[in-house]
A and B are shown apart, each in its own frame.
Chain A
């Protein structure tokens, strides 16, 4: 069993290293074809890396949704998670492998937690915690992505607006779609935890290198 685990980890590491290599390959190919300039090659590598990582995440969400027959739940989670995390920031793993492990764990936990029904006050409590955390902590700066003071102000405003929007959606959906409400609340809880870990733990600010 340990041997299988190690083989899976080695395989995943290779796959994740491939993301950077593949991005580099595409950019080098375009450079060779004189479509892009050498001074801007890093921009393209970064762009392709972002696209490939996004596609991998989408496939993870799609796979978990199909395996557990929770497609709507996963779609709601993905929409909220993307729209909020882009502006609040938070914990980031130091390798792509760890990142994907965290992301898969969140997806699977969400599938099980969204099946439960909690008392109304608990939903309110979690959404309040999410609102307060967004108000005081967002945006959380990452070592790999420093922000200017103007950007911080802008993203802070967007984060607060987003948290207000999702809180309203959660409160309304409680009365006619409890599962959507639970999904939003659990996603808000994960986003809050990732913000707190990013701010007070070492996850959000460390340099990330393969």
Chain B
């Protein structure tokens, strides 16, 4: 697997985690990081 493919995979993983987290009411732990504005726009 080329390096670029690995980077893309890491990026996709991070993006998926952000989108998944935006589809919930809150983080399950007792800390909630601030949801970025860009993600809110993406949801719309």
Q: Which residues of A contact B (CB under 8 A)?
A: 26-27, 30, 33, 35-36, 39-40, 42-51, 53-54, 57, 81-82, 84-93, 95-96, 98-100, 102-103, 138-142, 144-147, 151, 155, 159, 194, 207-209
Contacts and interface: CB of A to CB of B under 8 A. Distances in A.
Residue from A50, A82, A144, A207 whose CB has the most chain B CB atoms within 10 Å: A50
B17 to A, nearest CB: 4
Contact of A44 (B18, B24, B28, B35): B18
A93 B11 CA distance: 28
B14 A48 contact: yes
A142 to B, nearest CB: 5
Contacts of B29: 53-54, 57, 85, 99, 103
A60 to B, nearest CB: 9
Interface residues of B, number: 31
Interface of B: 4, 7-8, 10-11, 13-21, 24-39, 42
A39 B25 CA distance: 25
B26 A53 contact: no
15 contacts: A26-B10, A43-B42, A44-B14, A46-B21, A48-B14, A50-B33, A53-B27, A88-B25, A92-B30, A95-B31, A102-B30, A144-B32, A144-B35, A145-B25, A208-B33
The DSSP consensus for interface residues of chain A is: helix
Contact of B25 (A30, A87, A93, A194): A87
Nearest to A48: B14
B31 A92 contact: yes
Contact of B30 (A35, A36, A91, A207): A91
A85 B32 contact: no
Nearest to A20: B33
Contacts of A88: 25-26
A110 to B, nearest CB: 14
B28 A81 contact: yes
B32 A145 contact: yes
Contacts of A209: 34
A184 to B, nearest CB: 16
A145 B42 CA distance: 14
A92 B27 contact: yes
B24 to A, nearest CB: 4
B26 A50 contact: no
Given A30-B11, A48-B14, A95-B31, A155 B25 contact: yes
